Amino acid sequence: MTTRRTLLTAAAALPLAAPAILRATGARAQGDDAPATGPLAHRTRPFAIGGLTVTPLLSGAAVRDDPHSIFGLNVDDATFEEVSAEARIPADAAQFFFTPTLVEDGTNVILFDTGLDPTGMTAALEAAGRAPGDVTHVAITHMHPDHIGGLSQDGTPTFENAEHLAGATEMAAWEEDPSDAFTAKVLPIRDRFTLIEPGAAVGPAEAVEAFGHTPGHMAFRVADGDAAMLLIADTANHPIWSLEHPDWEVLFDMDKAAAAATRRELLGMAAADGTPILGYHMPFPAVGYVEEAGDGFRWIPHSYQLFL
């Protein structure tokens, strides 16, 4: 059973929920018998992309104080507060979501990223009617703790029947300079991984180079015929601070200039062709559209388009 304490402990180790003061939300949903409240009350939301089923899985959520210590490192407080006020969001706290995504084509059951820990990941999967043993492929966008946390526990893989896929560049970077999370979650199951390059096919998805947030960060384009969705992972992590201002520096972007260039490139592509995007940390269900606006982009949350 995951308690508030274990959720906080897990959250403390991950970038977007990092140090300072955290208020975990919906923590009871992770194991208590009481009904889920808050964002975790609704953990799944399937969409149709052509003949594919794409299901965002809410594996966790957390409130982070002082978001200006994460977003907009290169702008002053007054600018940050003004932009936030115009968007009707507070400047002193923000809610983040952790949204691994399941893509099913009738044969493959592909999980993109694994959340904070196996408990939250498994609970979200089960809410979607799936068990860890059903997953045929696990694809990792990058190796920050909030994306690899659900891969294993004490050396035991969570997805025992799955082929594990990760970017060759990403794996090499963390092998060279291993984090605690990499050592705990990836290394014990390292021999399960097949390394892939941008352009590689993963079932109906194609890996897309999106370097910058981490050295080998990858997005995935999921497509069936003309229908497509772009899983942008951590290319842009906030609908206002990242999309409206792609050049605002983000604490967890390891190469800030490359990350900003990738943001503009991927969001520009999605804006140009109208492809819906799914952002791992965006407000659940994390799906929306973008259009060019001002010096950046405007976020148009999904309402019902993909259900028609």
Which residues contact Zn ion (rule: CB under 5 A)?
A: 146, 234
Q: How far is the CB of 26 from Zn ion (least distance, A)?
A: 18
In whole angstroms, what is the distance from residue 55 CA to residue 5 CA?
28
3-state secondary structure of 24: strand
Q: How far is the CB of 147 from Zn ion (least distance, A)?
A: 6
| Residue 146 or 253 with smaller CB distance to Zn ion | 146
Q: How far is the CB of 67 from Zn ion (least distance, A)?
A: 14
| Residue 60 or 204 with smaller CB distance to Zn ion | 60
Q: How far is the CB of 171 from Zn ion (least distance, A)?
A: 17
User: CA distances (Å), 248 to each of 71, 82, 119, 186, 205, in order?
Assistant: 7, 14, 34, 31, 29
CB 102, CB 173: distance < 8 Å: no
Residue 149 CB contacts under 8 Å (≥ 6 apart), including other chains: 10, 13, 14, 114, 115, 116, 117, 118, 121, 181, 185
In whole angstroms, what is the distance from residue 189 CA to residue 89 CA?
41
User: CA distances (Å), 9 to each of 22, 63, 69, 123, 263, in order?
Assistant: 10, 14, 20, 18, 30
| Residue 170 or 234 with smaller CB distance to Zn ion | 234
| Residue 104 or 146 with smaller CB distance to Zn ion | 146
Q: How far is the CB of 232 from Zn ion (least distance, A)?
A: 11
| Residue 234 or 253 with smaller CB distance to Zn ion | 234
